[in-house]
Amino acid sequence: MQIIDGKALANQIKEELKLEVEHWVENGGKRPHLAAVLVGDDPASQAYVRNKVKSCEQVGFQSTLLKYEADMAEDDLLDIVKGLNENPEIDGYIVQLPLPKHIDENKILLAIDYRKDVDGFHPVNFGRMAQGLDSYLPATPMGILTMLDRYNIETSGKDVVVLGRSNIVGTPISILLSRKAKVGNATVTLTHSRTSDLEGHLKRADIIVAAIGIPLFVKKEMVKQGAVIIDVGINRVTSPDTKSGYKLVGDVDYDHVAPNCSHITPVPGGVGPMTVVSLLQNTMKAAKETIYNKP
């Protein structure tokens, strides 16, 4: 059994990116510049955005954090987005979700210029992805592809079962792993709350991607000997073993499932760190105009 060390891999890719940035800037390229928009004071969102800004520093990107009060008007946020679209200094930007309830998230996401949409949430990027065209991929599925690639895990012809059909993980990873691509060509089944025989599907899977947000949902007896497990869940559960009184666990019952796997991602330290790295990689592509010319 091999643990897929997302943290170590993320650090390695950051080192590679740092060299790429240096080389790019030395040769007259503009230093990549990511902006992040944060509305309100949700602690988790604050932590995520801080981590993104810190990661930018680590690889030599410029970053700008724009913070606004939770009660800001939707129109004002739309103006901010418009300004970022038009600002030639900004290569790519993200609007941290969730937004306060009085703001229509879809309206905001649709207003982002797809050429700066390094989160890959705009329909143009999502549609191009599904059609097999080059695009900014959503960060978490992109991180999963990178892990499978760097660990030389064969996906072609394999049976993949994806648990959960969210727009940010389950649906896009099911599309990506089905595509005709180096990491792809798998036979993917997308399962969800309405699936009749979930256990039957899991048991036949060569690769399981768990993204339903239910702590320790996937048990040992649901997993085939030698399967590959990608655990996207990050669930906070109470624990008597930690000072804080809680700990983070995945959607997979790691302790019991791991011994029978060929590869498994831990939580924390698996998929999580790869998500931020994907965002950096997209921003690098934006600066280099690898996919689109600048607006």
Give me the catalytic one of 14, 96, 231, 253: 96
| CB 128, min distance to its own copies, A | 5
Give me the catalytic one of 119, 206, 251, 253: 119
| CB 120, min distance to its own copies, A | 10
| CB 92, min distance to its own copies, A | 18
49 contacts 95 by C-beta, under 8 angstroms: no
Cβ nearer to its own copies, comparing 163 with 277: 163
Cβ nearer to its own copies, comparing 62 with 187: 187
DSSP 136-185: PPPHHHHHHHHHHHHTT---TT-EEEEE---TTTHHHHHHHHHSSSSS--
Is 52 catalytic? The answer is yes
Cβ nearer to its own copies, comparing 60 with 132: 132
Q: How far apart are CA 12 and CA 58, in angstroms?
A: 12
Give me the catalytic one of 52, 206, 231, 285: 52
55 contacts 47 by C-beta, under 8 angstroms: no
Task: Tell the residue number behind the tokens 């503009």, with chain if given.
Answer: 30
Cβ nearer to its own copies, comparing 188 with 279: 188
| CB 180, min distance to its own copies, A | 8
Q: How far apart are CA 208 and CA 230, in angstroms?
A: 6
Cβ nearer to its own copies, comparing 39 with 124: 124
Residues that bind its own copies (CB under 8 A): 106, 122-133, 135, 156-159, 165, 167, 171-172, 174-175, 178-180, 185-192, 194-197, 201
Is 96 catalytic? The answer is yes
Radius of gyration (C-alpha) of the chain in whole angstroms: 19
| CB 107, min distance to its own copies, A | 11
Q: How far apart are CA 163 and CA 141, in angstroms?
A: 13
**H or E element that contains 35:** strand 33-39
As annotated, the active-site residues are: 52, 96, 119
